[in-house]
Structure 1
Amino acid sequence: MTPTSRRRYLAAAGSGLAAALAGCIGGGSSDISSLSTDDRPARGNEDAPVRMAVFSDFSCPHCARFERQVRPQIFEQYVVPGDVLYFHVDFPIPVNETWSPAVASAARAVFDEAGNDAFWSFFTAMFDRQGQYSYDVIEMVADEAGGVGAAAREAAQEESYSDEVESDRSMGEDWGVRATPAPIVADKSVPVEGPPDEIFKNIADAIESQL
């Protein structure tokens, strides 16, 4: 990322700090049908009538609040019953120039080495440990999630999945993502400003409109 690009993304992230959960998506054209469970983490029924993707940065505090306070409701009410296929997409702004790309790379290693369930265990645990990141923490959490601590640590240190992570970020740019978290439901962006209950309602309304 060039210095100019980095300043632009950091400015975009900072502009939302006053909101309880900040994030927005601009006017780009998304193509959520192009996402596949073959090569990226997802939860839900592959034949679900609604597809949803959330662009996030592992170091973004707004993303952490989204993961703790909004995503569990989405999973409970729509993913588990089979109405939504939910994709994670990396979008390192980066909020933290060391850990945003490093943790994303480690998470990709967990997905490749230990599978989808291990990824989501790692994903949740790392957001719970935001602000405490280290290579030791990455290795410990990856071992607990799928027994792949050494591989995850190496991926984090070497950023060995940087091409894949940057490809996700470039896709987000094309789709109009400017800050995180950025949820998209059936190719439509969903506002994420306001308290968690309001954000969930916005997402629920978008899902219900497609059912």
Structure 2
Amino acid sequence: MFGRALLIALIAFFAGAGLSARAAAPQVCKGDACKGVFAVGPYLMVFFATQTHEEGTAQRYYREIPSFGPTLLNIEIAGCEDDPTRPPQFEDVKDLDVEASLYWGRNDLQRPELLKTFRAHGVAAISFDYDFQEDGKYVVAVNLRKPDGSDYHGEHMFFVIAAADSGLLLAGVASAFLLGFAVLVWRLRKPVTPQVRPR
């Protein structure tokens, strides 16, 4: 009986830990892959978001923004795929039309909602602000258009998670719920063999 209870507790714990891992998935990113680099055709773009906090310090985020409020979104052309270390020269971008759009997806079942669009011409970096008030998945979609008609598209996904520290709490609540449900099912189950009547 103790072994069965231990097995149920372990199943509940790992199920809760799995839910927590899914909730905290944006934080799994490591190393240079976290630095907001994404491709738009032959160009390598860098995305980062900046928030200024009450104490006056400005924090830069690439993949996860841990608080609501006014945020500056920055998109820069960092280089080309054939030479990612070389910053773009004026000649490389002077004829480019750049369009950046911010989308919000409450969940994967709904079509993303367009929040803001920003357009520029002949620049290697653009910035626009947005006041985040909702948790969720956000996407910055970038379109680059050359005078010869070449059109390139790329996207960078990031997350706004104002309650980022709640992953452990979510795992605990899910574990307690699953454990309680498993104990309830175990107590309500019918015995496999009929009980022997006393003589």
* TM score, norm. by length of structure 1: 0.24
Which is bigger in relative contact order (C-alpha 8 A, separation at least 6)?
A: 1
Identify, as 1 or 2, the structure richer in helix.
1
Higher Cα radius of gyration? 2
* TM score, norm. by length of structure 2: 0.25
Identify, as 1 or 2, the structure richer in strand.
2
